[in-house]
């Protein structure tokens, strides 16, 4: 795997508008929520919910966030990453 871009969330704040720009460019967004994995198809109707799920307590984009192809994986859930690595 090659890392195309790495952003330190502690040093660079990504606000709601930029988060939505990232999310809306994806075909599918997978968000770790405890032991569950939430799946979203970004569109204008779910903008607020999706941005809220993708945002951590600091108001920044949750980490880790991975873009693989046209899909985004946000937050950590062991099963979600096991599925990615096979």
Grouped pLDDT means (10 residues each) for the chain, 86 residues: 72 82 95 92 94 90 90 92 82
Q: Say how far apart CA 36 and CA 38 lie, in whole Å.
A: 6
Helix (H, G, I), strand (E, B) or coil at 4: coil
Q: What pLDDT score was predicted for residue 13? A: 77
Farthest CA pair distance, the chain: 34
pTM: 0.86
The helix-helix angle for 47-54 and 16-24 (nearest 10°) equals: 110
Q: What pLDDT score was predicted for residue 57? A: 86
Q: What pLDDT score was predicted for residue 46? A: 94
Q: Say how far apart CA 52 and CA 54 lie, in whole Å.
A: 5
């Amino acid at each position: 795997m090659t890392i195309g871009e790495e952003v330190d969330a502690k040093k660079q704040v990504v606000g709601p508008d930029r988060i939505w720009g990232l999310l809306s460019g994806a075909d599918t967004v997978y968000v770790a929520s405890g032991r569950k994995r939430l799946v979203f198809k970004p569109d204008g109707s779910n903008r607020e919910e999706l941005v809220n799920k993708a945002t951590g307590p600091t108001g920044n984009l949750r980490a880790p966030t991975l873009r693989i192809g046209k899909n985004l994986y946000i937050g950590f859930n062991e099963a979600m990453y096991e599925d990615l690595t096979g």
